[in-house]
Structure 1
Amino acid sequence: MNDKKDKFSFLNYLDYIYFLALIITSCFAFVKSNTLGVIGLISSFILILSFVCKKKIDKEIWIDKLKTVDFNVNKMIKKSAINNPLPICILELDGEIFWSNKSFDQMTGQEEGGTSIGSNIDDYVDDITLRKVLDENKVIEEEVKFRDRDYIIKYSFVKIEEENDGSADYRILIFWIDKTEYNSIKEIYENSREAILFIEIDGYEDILKSTPEENRPMVTMDIEKILSNLEFETHGLMRKLANDKYILLIKKEDLDILEKSRFSILDKAREIDYGNSLPVTLSIGVGVDGDTIEETGEFASGAIDMVLGRGGDQVAMRNKDGFNFYGGKSKGFERKTKVKSRLIGLALKELINQSNKILIMGHHYPDMDAMGAAVGVFDICKAYGKKANIVLNNVNEAVEIFIERIKEENYYNGIFINHEKATDICDKDTLVIVVDTHRPSYTECEVLLDISNRVVVIDHHRRGVDYINDTVLLFHEIYVSSTCEMVTELIQYTDYDIKIHKLTAEGLLGGIYLDTKNFEFKTGVRTFEAASYLRNLGADTLSVKKFFNSYAEDFLVKAEIIQRTEIIDERICISYSKEEIDNINIVIAKAADELLNIKKIEASFVLGMKDDIVFVSARSLGDINVHVLMEKIGGGGHIDIAGAQIKDMSLSQAYNMIKDIITDYLKED
């Protein structure tokens, strides 16, 4: 490229080189002959003058030609712009139309020969923000709707410089691209895409067992009828996979209809009543908007797993953006079989025996359920001859008394380690056992989950969108009262005679006390069986009660919370604590429990702040699903006991946000 430029530059100076050579030759001739030299010099001067004059004339001719071409090009561009099928307009900075072509005039409904020049763009489209155009090199795109047609408009600054005085003026150039047909075709395509629904009947065998024998065929027939109607109404294809499992293929447009009805099929199923003591509920996992049918199927599979992990009787719809949930009005009911606990216990035994290092952890700000379960798992490991450690950085009032008693017993020497030491000793083969939570961000030391390839989760909370993946063993039962009940069953129903310490039994019983509110909530037959088993192991109820002793100042804070309670719709209490005490999360939980004792109150929400975190405790008598409400702000729990932690928000902002969530819920309800 540089060689070509050098060659071109050399050719430009070639004429001057010829003239220079001629002058030098004439001077040399002058030395030999004056007459010949003078003639040569005069000839050279005449040639040079002729050459200069010719170049000047040629330049003027080329300039005239370029002016003619420029005029013709401008004329062509102007004619092309006027007759361009794409609507074009030029605006003043205040939105007044300075110029428009025929297509724009036709688009705006001008009669033949009419023009939109002089009118304002706001007369046609009022949602264009011209202030966005600040850079003449930047093109802004917006989607607008005009006369029931969809347009993408592209607009930018145009700088117009005046030749006479050198001043500059600015205009806004807008191109209108009609995308109505494209959007219509796209909508047809999107609506015709497949959606996959996995449908399961919750506890089908248990429902039939709870129904009088002569009515069982009626229950089965009504379920089949509801599902058959669903297939017909959605123009889909349904296949039965098992007695309680179905798959339904439908189009997305039919799924949108189901979504608008908020999946009313859930309510229809619950209306089936032939003397069955257990309600008929459905769990539906929906996959949609996958790039392939395989990906859509994976979405549906993940969605049904999510529903079952949240207690059933609801719909989880999954696409690339995440999950949407519908339903979830019923409580999960207790399964009386202990087979799963026995199988999980055997699997856990194998994992423990194969591990040289075992770390156990609960959630941030652990309560008695988390700590009791952790100590219970510690004793299981000890019974199998394995050393385990519980990861704990700070002790809060919720477990303070229990931890002090643990440290006094030589049996538990070296049981607790901090985050730093746990991170140092953890490797990919370390067995990490997480109790009372399934959310990575809620765990005591989240980094351990990234280091270890062998993670076990034991939890009873309804499954949230954020959960621990790639577990080697998952024991997740949302209908169980507490994680301590689950760990007690692991001890009780394994084939190995596990002996646990009396204090461990009291810790497990304390966790059951806490999460059942002294056997008032989520209490089933298995809960009492677990409590009875722990009592037989020596757990003292009076000692357990002492775990929950509070300071006098906590009672005063709780009293202030109750005093400033606001009642919404005569059904829901909401309050907050002005005090920022260390154990505010415990105090607000107790206050939320207390507010449920008010007549006609169905749910309570109490907020408190500690450091830069707003804690929310939510309680319900069962008719209002507080888990769903807390999930809207990143929390979760159970249908009747839930909570959340909110960061980067003031207490008043969080309070108003919770009130808005409650108001929206009451409107939907």
Structure 2
Amino acid sequence: MNTLLHKQRIKSIILFIFEILIVSGLFVASALFELDYYFLIAIGLCLAIICFNTIFYWFSSRTIENLKLRTELKSADVIGTDIQEAYNFGKIGLAVTDGNKNVIWINEFLTDMDFDVVDCKIDEISPDLLKLSSSDYEEETVKIIYKKHNYEVKFIESANLYIFKDITDYESIFNYSKNQAPVVGYILFDNFQDVSSAKKETSFNDLTSASRKLVTEYLKKYKALTKRLRADMYMFICSMENYEEMQKDNFSIVDKVRDLEEDGFTLSVGIAYGFPDYTKLGELASNAIDVALSRGGDQSVIAPFSENMIFIGGKTESKASRNKVKIRTLSQSLITLMQHSSNVLVMGHIYADMDAIGAALGVKALADFAKVECKIIYDDQLVENKTRRALKTLYSTDEFKSMTIGFKAANEYINENTLVVAVDFNNPSQAMNKNIITEKTKLAVIDHHRRADNFFPSVLINGIDSSASSASELIAEYIAFNPSTIALNDKAATMMLAGILLDTNYYRNKTNIGTYEASTILKQHGANNEAADDFLKQDYEEYVLINRIMSNASTPFYGVLVCTADDEDIIDRTILAIAAREAVSIRGVNASFVIGRSSEKSIRISARSDGTVNCQFLMEKLNGGGHFNAAASEFQNETITSVYEKLIHILDEYLQDARKTTNSK
């Protein structure tokens, strides 16, 4: 406002001087020369204009002064003469701008807070203030920092008025509370018993001492209160501020302990925060440890209260650590639970494959041994084509109907004492019949995939083992290592063997001693190799389609092959998996990603690796999941092109993190 008055005065003075000079010149000219009557009239008009400008300048100045006075008195009219005291008590500042966002007035509170901004653009205080006048900005206020003070600002457009509220004290209290919020965590030596059995006592004690020293020094560095609960577990409590420092360090203690010695200890870390109750945080942290172990260990799992879990690490493939005692215990527990149930329902994942159906048949054999009625939930449209053909080849219509049950009948069949066994999946959203499982359902889970963040609410038996090649392998071990002799017919054994062949790509991927032992067990029960192999053979149409998909390939990154199908083609997810498997078998390809439309509204990415790239880590970034070297993700209402772009973005950002380092092999 002061600038506007100043500019107007300067312009008026210049114009006044210019006009005086013109009139003076005319008078001089009239004195030196004889001029006619009309020239004298012109001089008179000039004098009249000068008088008019003088009056106009006086009137305009008075108008602006009155406007300035009215602006300053707006708040006073509402609150009264003690407005400044009210402003200071409430820490409220006011700033008025003109149409060009120039500050033309501020109240005394802002002046006292060193807001030297009159005649400046409002965005010189903070660029974020312009958001308030933008139609795209949905919030009513914006928070800014100016000269080490925090302000919450609101804009009243009709008056061009910015209202500043000093919230420095509130922000300080909030930040202090946030920084001092409790964090509870557990650190577990997840292969303590295995290392103890494999090493001599002296070398084991030396390794244990060195590892414990690393853990305690690491926690001490971040000012955590630490207590060793048992030989292989520590509990710690720290503040949120210290936890954030650990997170910036990426929980390097996991790598430090792993790198101490080849075939030495690996750590799992479970942490919880976001709730004031230490007991609740302890439960969440304990659950996070369970998730880390079910995903293969050697990683950190963060469980913020009421938020999705965060996974850090887990770049190495799960090592086989199963022992016969544990398997025998799980098998016997499952049979005991069956015997205390009225009936059993077995269910695989949506679009069930050979492994899901094979594992379900194995569970039925366990239920038959327990002398409990058992049905396999089945929908012809939700089973992949080869599996459907294999079942029709192995079983007669009457046999098939006697062991399966549809969705509608299953809803009538189930009761409060029914045991539901989920095989080959651990994410509720992947269930063939989602309505069967509720919080009150008696549930057992047997799966070989790493545990997902979205897990079942309540599980009586958790048979997740991510080091296994397949769910059929796990069930074969349950049957073989149970103290009792459990019968398994040759048809079920053949289907289970086909499941193992499918998931290992004929023993090329994710195999261990247990895989071959399970195959031997199934052969002893009459599994037919030739039939299992025949079930997995490609049709001619499938062969042509796979080659067409692979012909449309690109290599956006070194060692990575991305293949895309035509957007118009609807392709079975099994075909996408086979294409990805074929692509990764090419020399020099470390990871392959095949994108195709699996239904009218769904597009799927099937990912495979040769063991040097963590496919699960990448697919989880796209809300998918799976194994270390075999994973997938699905999208709704997208195009092949848009999904391809999302994949490329994730690869660009996380591919290096997903590659196995030399130290982690």
Which TM-score band (shorter chain)?
Answer: 0.7 to 0.9
Residue 503 of structure 1 deviates from its aligned partner by: 0.8
Matches within 5 A, 1:90-105: 90-92=96-98, 94-105=100-111
Amino acid of the residue matched to residue 293 of structure 1?
Y
Which deviates the most, 626-635 or 93-102?
93-102
Structure 1 runs, 4 residues or longer, greater than 6 Å off: 70-73
Amino acid of the residue matched to residue 638 of structure 1?
H
Match of 1:204 among 192, 205, 220: 192
CA distance in 1, matches of 2:79, 2:442: 73
CA distance in 1, matches of 2:513, 2:100: 75
CA distance in 2, matches of 1:617, 1:573: 12
Residues 196, 296 of structure 1: 8 Å contact kept: yes
Q: Per-residue CA shift, 1:263-294, capped at 9, x if unaligned?
A: 11111112112xx5x24210000112212222
Residues 397, 583 of structure 1: 8 Å contact kept: no
Residue 400 of structure 1 deviates from its aligned partner by: 2.3
Is 1:130 matched with 2:132? Answer: yes
1:389 partner SS: strand
CA distance in 2, matches of 1:342, 1:231: 38
Q: Per-residue CA shift, 1:511-552, capped at 9, x if unaligned?
A: 111111211222111111111011111111111001112221
Match of 2:77 among 58, 74, 90: 74
Residue 248 of structure 1 deviates from its aligned partner by: 1.6
Residue 233 of structure 1 deviates from its aligned partner by: 0.8
Residues 139, 155 of structure 1: 8 Å contact kept: no
CA distance in 2, matches of 1:550, 1:92: 74
Residues 286, 299 of structure 1: 8 Å contact kept: yes
- Indicate the residue corresponding to 2:45 in structure 1: none
- Indicate the residue corresponding to 2:476 in structure 1: 488
CA distance in 2, matches of 1:82, 1:665: 56
- Indicate the residue corresponding to 1:23 in structure 2: none
2:458 partner SS: coil
1:150 partner SS: strand
- Indicate the residue corresponding to 1:609 in structure 2: 597
- CA, structure 1 residues 206+451, in 2 after alignment: closer, same or farther (shift >3 Å)? closer
1:465 partner SS: coil
- Indicate the residue corresponding to 1:89 in structure 2: 95
- Indicate the residue corresponding to 1:256 in structure 2: 244
- Please tell me the root mean square deviation across aligned C-alpha atoms, in Å: 2.6
- CA, structure 1 residues 267+139, in 2 after alignment: closer, same or farther (shift >3 Å)? closer
Structure 2, gaps ≥5 residues long: 1-72, 659-665
Matches within 5 A, 1:571-590: 571-578=559-566, 583-590=571-578
Amino acid of the residue matched to residue 317 of structure 2?
K
- CA, structure 1 residues 380+122, in 2 after alignment: closer, same or farther (shift >3 Å)? same
- CA, structure 1 residues 638+102, in 2 after alignment: closer, same or farther (shift >3 Å)? same
Which deviates the most, 419-428 or 218-227?
419-428
1:414 partner SS: helix
- Indicate the residue corresponding to 2:289 in structure 1: 304
- Indicate the residue corresponding to 1:180 in structure 2: 168
Is 1:313 matched with 2:312? Answer: no
Is 1:449 matched with 2:437? Answer: yes
- Indicate the residue corresponding to 2:121 in structure 1: 120
CA distance in 2, matches of 1:424, 1:614: 34
- Indicate the residue corresponding to 1:345 in structure 2: 331
CA distance in 1, matches of 2:391, 2:78: 90
Residue 598 of structure 1 deviates from its aligned partner by: 2.4
Is 1:520 matched with 2:521? Answer: no
- Indicate the residue corresponding to 1:322 in structure 2: 308
Amino acid of the residue matched to residue 365 of structure 1?
Y
Matches within 5 A, 1:588-627: 588-610=576-598, 611-627=600-616
Residues 346, 422 of structure 2: 8 Å contact kept: yes
- Indicate the residue corresponding to 2:141 in structure 1: 141
Which TM-score applies when normalising by structure 2? 0.82
Residues 498, 535 of structure 2: 8 Å contact kept: yes
CA distance in 1, matches of 2:419, 2:319: 32
Residues 407, 413 of structure 1: 8 Å contact kept: no
Amino acid of the residue matched to residue 369 of structure 2?
A
CA distance in 2, matches of 1:271, 1:661: 28
1:188 partner SS: helix
1:301 partner SS: helix
Is 1:462 matched with 2:450? Answer: yes
Is 1:292 matched with 2:277? Answer: yes
Residues 132, 141 of structure 2: 8 Å contact kept: no
Residues 82, 102 of structure 1: 8 Å contact kept: no
Residue 117 of structure 1 deviates from its aligned partner by: 4.3
- CA, structure 1 residues 563+106, in 2 after alignment: closer, same or farther (shift >3 Å)? farther
Amino acid of the residue matched to residue 595 of structure 2?
L
Residue 189 of structure 1 deviates from its aligned partner by: 2.5
Amino acid of the residue matched to residue 286 of structure 2?
S
Q: Per-residue CA shift, 1:219-238, capped at 9, x if unaligned?
A: 11221121122122112222
Residue 365 of structure 1 deviates from its aligned partner by: 0.6
Residue 647 of structure 1 deviates from its aligned partner by: 1.5
Residue 432 of structure 1 deviates from its aligned partner by: 1.4
Q: Per-residue CA shift, 1:307-357, capped at 9, x if unaligned?
A: 112111110111122311111012221124111221222222223223333
- Indicate the residue corresponding to 1:4 in structure 2: none
Which deviates the most, 89-98 or 143-152?
89-98
Amino acid of the residue matched to residue 180 of structure 2?
S
Match of 1:392 among 378, 388, 398: 378
Which deviates the most, 527-536 or 489-498?
489-498
- Indicate the residue corresponding to 2:367 in structure 1: 381
- Indicate the residue corresponding to 1:25 in structure 2: none
Which deviates the most, 260-269 or 339-348?
339-348
Which TM-score applies when normalising by structure 1? 0.81
1:307 partner SS: helix
Identity %: 26
- Indicate the residue corresponding to 1:243 in structure 2: 231
Q: Per-residue CA shift, 1:615-634, capped at 9, x if unaligned?
A: 11111222221111111222
Amino acid of the residue matched to residue 125 of structure 1?
S
Match of 1:660 among 645, 649, 665: 649
Match of 1:362 among 348, 351, 371: 348
2:159 partner SS: strand
Which deviates the most, 437-446 or 200-209?
200-209
- CA, structure 1 residues 149+216, in 2 after alignment: closer, same or farther (shift >3 Å)? same
Residues 604, 619 of structure 1: 8 Å contact kept: yes
CA distance in 2, matches of 1:629, 1:440: 21
- Indicate the residue corresponding to 1:226 in structure 2: 214
- Indicate the residue corresponding to 2:15 in structure 1: none
Residue 582 of structure 1 deviates from its aligned partner by: 5.3
- Indicate the residue corresponding to 2:155 in structure 1: 155
CA distance in 2, matches of 1:364, 1:439: 11
Residue 446 of structure 1 deviates from its aligned partner by: 0.7
- Indicate the residue corresponding to 1:65 in structure 2: none
Residue 79 of structure 1 deviates from its aligned partner by: 6.2
Q: Per-residue CA shift, 1:392-442, capped at 9, x if unaligned?
A: 212322412222124427544422222122123222222211111111110
Residues 133, 155 of structure 2: 8 Å contact kept: no
CA distance in 1, matches of 2:571, 2:475: 26
CA distance in 1, matches of 2:468, 2:643: 31
